[in-house]
Amino acid sequence: MVTTVEISMYPFVETFRDLIKEFIGKLHDYSKLQVKAGPTSTVLIGEHDDVMTCLTEMMRWSFERHGQSVFVTKILPGYAPT
């Protein structure tokens, strides 16, 4: 099942722009997912398990590398934009 996720990241640091850019860059390493970065959020599209694995790994990576961030997500299983 294809799942679409919209995610926004809000790091608790002054250099938040650099961290967000790094986060989005690492999302592109997930070759099974489509990644569409926008001005206020990023959209991930792919098979549900791949998307959820990506979210879990990336949030863990972010916390371990940079500390706390707020992540706001909208998850829509079964939806693939045309």
Q: Where are the domains of the chain?
A: 2-72
- Cβ atoms 72, 3 nearer than 8 A: no
Q: Let me know if 46 is exposed, middle or buried by CB neighbors in 10 A (0-12, 13-18, 19+).
A: buried
Instruction: State which CATH number among 3.30.70.930, 3.30.420.40, 3.40.50.300, 1.25.40.10 fits the domain covering 2-72.
Output: 3.30.70.930
Distance (Å, rounded) from C-alpha 79 to C-alpha 82? 9
What is the pTM assigned to this prediction? 0.89
Distance (Å, rounded) from C-alpha 69 to C-alpha 81? 28
- pLDDT tens sequence across 19-42: 999 999 999 999 999 999 999 999
Report the pLDDT value the prediction gives residue 14, as an integer from 0 to 100: 87
Task: Work out the pLDDT band at 81, boundaries 50, 70, 90.
Answer: confident
- pLDDT tens sequence across 37-80: 999 999 999 999 999 999 999 999 999 988 899 999 999 999 87
Whether 82 has a pLDDT exceeding 80, the answer reads: no
